[in-house]
Each structure stands twice: as structure tokens, then as C-alpha cells.
Amino acid sequence: MPVMTKERTVRKGRRRVFEMEPDPFYSESNMAHLRRGIAALNAGEGTEHELLDITDE
């Protein structure tokens, strides 16, 4: 499921050609990592914790 983002403009002659690059978030290796994480959470291997407060003081 490639999602295209980050268009790049290239000049070719007198016209502009737009080339699209795939979004790295949807790469096969990242999707496999997300699937492993989801499987671990579904198997009860996650750790619950409080949200971190990262507001500027």
C-alpha cells in the first residue's frame, strides 16, 4: 500500500515534471515492525504508564 508524499519538482526542457517519493512510514520493514508491536500488545506484553508532561516551563 504505497502512499506517495514529498513531491519533488524537476525541470525538463521548458516544463516541470513532478516526481513522487513513497512515504517511508509505509515501507515494508516499518509495517512489519508495527505488526510485531501490535502482536506483542495483543499478547499482553505491553507496560502501562502515565503520560509524560513535556510542556515548556
**Res 28: pLDDT:** 94
Q: Which of 28, 31, 9, 32 is nearest to 20 (CA)?
A: 9
Rounded to whole angstroms, how far apart are CA atoms 57 and 51? 17
**Res 1: pLDDT:** 46
Model's pTM, two decimal places? Answer: 0.51
In this predicted model, what pLDDT tens digit does every residue of 12-57 receive, in sequence order? Answer: 566 666 777 788 888 999 999 999 999 999 999 998 889 988 886 6
Rounded to whole angstroms, how far apart are CA atoms 28 and 22? 11
Rounded to whole angstroms, how far apart are CA atoms 9 and 19? 7
Q: Which of 35, 3, 37 is nearest to 21 (CA)?
A: 3
